A and B are shown apart, each in its own frame.
Chain A
Amino acid sequence: MASVLRFPVRRLASAEGRSAAIRALANPAEERIARAEELHLHDPEMLVSLVGLLWERSETNPESVRLEAEFFYTYLAEPYRPIGAMDEREYFLGEFALIAGTHSRVLGRRDEARLWFDRADAFFRLTVRVQADLSRLGYQRLAVRLEERCYSEVLELSPPLIESFRRLGMTEDCIKVNFLQVLALQEIGKLEKAIDLLEETSRAAVAHGLRRLHGLAQTNLFNLYANRGDAARAMDCCRVASSELASLGNRVGLAKLRWGAGTLLRNQGREKEAVEAFRAAIGEFRDLGMRGEVAATHLVVADLLIDQGAEAQAEWEIRAALPIIDEEKMVPEGMAAYALLRESVRRRKIDRNALRDVHGYFQE
């Protein structure tokens, strides 16, 4: 009978999948292919656990997650390898492309992210859970729109995406879309509406036991209250967010919280402490490989230093940001301002308006 039913031989039990995935990741990428059999590299049990592990590590080490997702996508794509049963090969290719794209986006590599999203789209269409996975992809594409400052499009396209997730019963993803709307509202100056939506989002996250989203909502509330100058409420949110993020090992969230602390201190007129907080955030963003945030924060520090009359130090901060902006092609929409800033640094007389314009293009 076994010669008739050609199902893949099961080598790993579900419980063994996770330890196999940890083992695969612990091996350097360049050694993995030679040890593919031993590491179960094309066993669907290992792969489904690996996908879970990569998403879990998303906010502790986005650069490593991006590289791992690229490795597994490439490994599964060429040469052709049958994986698991039914739609599993296409699913894993789609999922690794989505992970690679998401982390390219997080790291400010927007062009790469778009290509990965196109790959994810092509493979997800061949799977049985197509609506759910295309909706997850839709969320990431909307996040790119937000980063491109297309706020009205984000506000237009969020409700149907929320409705897709609602109809599919995907509560966590449904709540996540609120964050994109909040950021868009914030950018077009509708601060009170953004705060109301975030408070609602925070309550929904608690009601569904979604601690990561609760931590994220509190971080965003902290930033908004800090921007509004409401220090007491901001600090309350900071405490809640910090406790949630630390317990989840969310390094990205904690780094963003540090950035928010800098904003709060700046708004309180405590500029020297603000510079310290922002510099600490730069260190953390650098460790995480978040080059966009590193460059943006250097520019904020430069702006503060100019206020303090420390033009030479400000120039150093801008010089630290410029190569990153250049290499990652981070402000294609703000090239004119970027050119002015670059030229002003060359002449050693910083153009404050250009500095603020360029920084504006980074803000989420």
Chain B
Amino acid sequence: MGQNPSDREAQVDALFLRALPVITEALTSDYGLTEDEASELEQNLYLWFDRLARRPGQVPISSLRSSLLLAACQFARGVCQMKHEAAVARSAEEFPVPRYEPSAFAVELERRLLNRERES
């Protein structure tokens, strides 16, 4: 491979950290997760993203940003769905599952991230 693996690892970390504030905000505000839930989801998202970047046929890490945001939305929707089902099973107050599709909301997150980068 042409690129040093440690360079790629550094790029993966940098991209993830840049996107993290927007992801955290979406998880807690838009998806209604608690901070602990958001944090656990983010850890698992990072592990998945790190493996995605190591798949053969190396693409530039920067091109994986939209996949990261899409995965964040799909993970979050999955958690909302599970919380909803758990609430129904307990006959507790229902946990709302966002109506927006992960792919559409990932585009919104991309826009927020770009705005944030322009402002900083």
Name the residue among B2, B44, B60, B63 with the largest chain A CB count within 10 angstroms. B2
- Whether the Cβ atoms of A172 and B58 lie closer than 8 Å is yes
Asked if A168 and B2 sit within 8 Å, CB to CB, the answer is no
Q: Answer whether A5 and B40 are a contact pair too, CB < 8 Å, given A91-B55, A128-B52.
A: yes
> Is A5 within 8 A of B82, CB to CB?
yes
Contact indicator B67/A5 (Cβ below 8 Å) = no
Q: B40 near A7 (CB under 8 angstroms)?
A: yes
> Known contacts A51-B55, A84-B51, A170-B59; is A128 also within 8 Å of B82 by CB?
no
Chain B CB within 8 A of A86 CB: yes
| Cα distance A135–B58 in the bound complex, in angstroms | 12
Cβ of B41 within 8 Å of any chain A Cβ, yes or no, is yes
**Residue picked from B36, B48, B51, B79, most chain A C-beta under 10 Å:** B51
Q: Are the C-beta atoms of B48 and A85 separated by less than 8 Å?
A: yes
In the complex, how many angstroms separate the beta carbon of A140 from the nearest chain B beta carbon?
11
Q: Which DSSP category, helix, strand, loop or mixed, fits chain B's interface?
A: helix
Q: Is the CB of A4 within 8 A of B37?
A: yes
B2 adjacent to A208 (CB under 8 Å):
yes
Q: A5 and B79: CB pair below 8 A? A: yes
Q: How far is the CA of A116 from the CA of B102 in the complex (A)?
A: 31
A91 to chain B, nearest CB (A): 7
A128 contact set on B, CB distance < 8 A? 52, 67, 70-71
CA distance A86 to B86 in the complex (A): 21
Name which of B1, B44, B57, B63 has the most chain A CB atoms within 10 A of its CB.
B57
Of residues 71 through 117 on chain B, the ones whose CB sits less than 8 Å from some CB of chain A are: 71, 74-75, 79, 82-83, 86
Closest chain A CB from B81 CB (angstroms): 10
> 0/1 per residue, A103-129, Cβ < 8 Å to B?
000000000000000000000000011
The residue on B at minimum CB distance from A6 is B82
Nearest chain B CB to A321's CB is how many angstroms away?
Answer: 34
CA distance A3 to B52 in the complex (A): 26
Contact of B51 among A5, A48, A169 (CB under 8 A): A48
Query: Is A45 at the interface (CB under 8 A from chain B)?
Result: yes
For chain A residues 49-78, which have a beta carbon within 8 Å of chain B?
51-52, 55
- Number of B interface residues at 8 Å Cβ cutoff, please give it: 31
Q: Could you say which residues of chain B place their CB within 8 Å of the CB of A95?
A: 55-56
Contact yes or no, A169 B60, CB < 8 A = yes
- CB neighbours (8 Å) of B74 from chain A are 86
CB distance from B1 to the nearest CB of A (A): 7
Residue of B nearest to A45 (CB): B51
CA distance A88 to B75 in the complex (A): 13
Return the chain B residue nearest A205 by Cβ: B2
- A133 within 8 Å of B by Cβ? yes
Judge whether A132 is part of the interface by a CB distance below 8 angstroms: yes
Q: Is the pair B54, A52 in contact by a Cβ cutoff of 8 Å?
A: yes
Q: Are B2 and A210 in contact (CB under 8 A)?
A: yes
B54, B71, B83: the one contacting A4 at CB < 8 Å is B83
Please, how many angstroms separate the alpha-carbon atoms of A287 and B54 in the complex? 31
List B contacts of A86 (CB < 8 A).
Answer: 48, 71, 74-75
| Assembly CA distance A327 to B94 (angstroms) | 64
B50 close to A (CB within 8 Å): yes
Q: In the complex, are the beta carbons of B59 and A129 less than 8 A apart?
A: yes
Cβ of B44 and Cβ of A52 under 8 Å apart? no
* Inter-chain contact B48/A4, CB cutoff 8 Å: no
Q: A52-B54, A135-B57 are in contact. List 16 more A-B contacts (CB 8 A).
A: A4-B79, A5-B40, A6-B82, A7-B44, A44-B48, A48-B54, A52-B56, A85-B47, A86-B48, A88-B51, A136-B56, A136-B57, A168-B59, A168-B63, A172-B1, A209-B2
Listed in ascending order, the chain A residues whose CB lies under 8 Å from chain B are: 1-8, 10, 14, 44-45, 48, 51-52, 55, 84-86, 88, 91, 95, 128-129, 132-133, 135-136, 168-173, 208-210
Name B residues whose Cβ lies closer than 8 Å to a Cβ of A: 1-2, 34, 36-37, 40-41, 44, 47-48, 50-52, 54-60, 63-64, 67, 70-71, 74-75, 79, 82-83, 86
A selection of 9 A-B contacts at a CB cut-off of 8 Å is A2-B40, A10-B47, A14-B51, A48-B55, A129-B52, A129-B64, A132-B59, A133-B57, A170-B59
